[in-house]
């Protein structure tokens, strides 16, 4: 859990779409993000996350693993998100990202990571976005 001094007063207005096929990892990270103040929507794979967005679901940031079951992996999901929702921030994580230069697509977080580090990365991405938009609302 992050210290209270790190939490922005309006962080609760941000929603994170967490895409992770490992249920324990997803549950632990979702809890860490919620304890930091974020709203979290969980998806077990990229197809589920994409269906959520296509149905009108809202997210300020997508946090996705690279490798997962289904018709697309995390890199493909993030590419679609960036194409159709360019305002949405994205973080992708992997223990073995492969040959694709993920850093060119979005923020990359190497696995294994500490939960608090993941939450800080989410906060930094959203803070940078807010600064570019003229500050926290």
pLDDT digits (tens, 9 = 90+) for 27-63: 999 999 999 999 999 999 999 999 999 999 999 999 9
Q: Is residue 74 part of a domain?
A: yes
What is the tally of structural domains in the chain? 1
Residue 109's DSSP bridge partners are 93
Q: Is residue 21 part of a domain?
A: yes
CA distances from 92 to 4, 5, 98, 105, 123 (A): 26, 26, 13, 9, 14
Is the per-residue pLDDT at 5 higher than 80?
A: no
Instruction: Report the interhelical angle of 23-36 vs 115-132 (nearest 10°).
Output: 50
Instruction: Check: CB of residue 81 under 8 Å from CB of residue 65.
Output: no
Q: Is residue 100 part of a domain?
A: yes
pLDDT at 41: 98
pLDDT digits (tens, 9 = 90+) for 60-84: 999 999 999 999 999 999 999 999 9
Q: How many CA atoms lie within 13 A of 9 on its CB side?
A: 3
pLDDT at 7: 44
Provide the whole-model pTM: 0.86
């Amino acid at each position: 859990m992050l210290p209270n001094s790190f939490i922005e007063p309006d962080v609760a207005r941000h929603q994170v779409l967490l895409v992770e096929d490992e249920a324990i990892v997803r549950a632990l990270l979702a809890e860490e993000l919620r304890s930091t103040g974020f709203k979290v929507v969980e998806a077990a794979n990229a197809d589920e996350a994409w269906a959520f967005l296509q149905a009108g679901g809202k997210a300020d940031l997508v946090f996705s693993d690279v490798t997962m079951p289904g018709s697309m992996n995390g890199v493909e999901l993030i590419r679609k998100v960036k194409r159709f929702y360019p305002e949405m921030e994205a973080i992708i994580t992997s223990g073995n990202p492969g040959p694709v230069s993920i850093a060119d697509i979005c923020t990359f977080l190497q696995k294994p990571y500490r939960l608090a580090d993941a939450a800080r990365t989410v906060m930094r991405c959203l803070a940078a976005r807010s600064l570019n938009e003229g500050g926290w609302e």
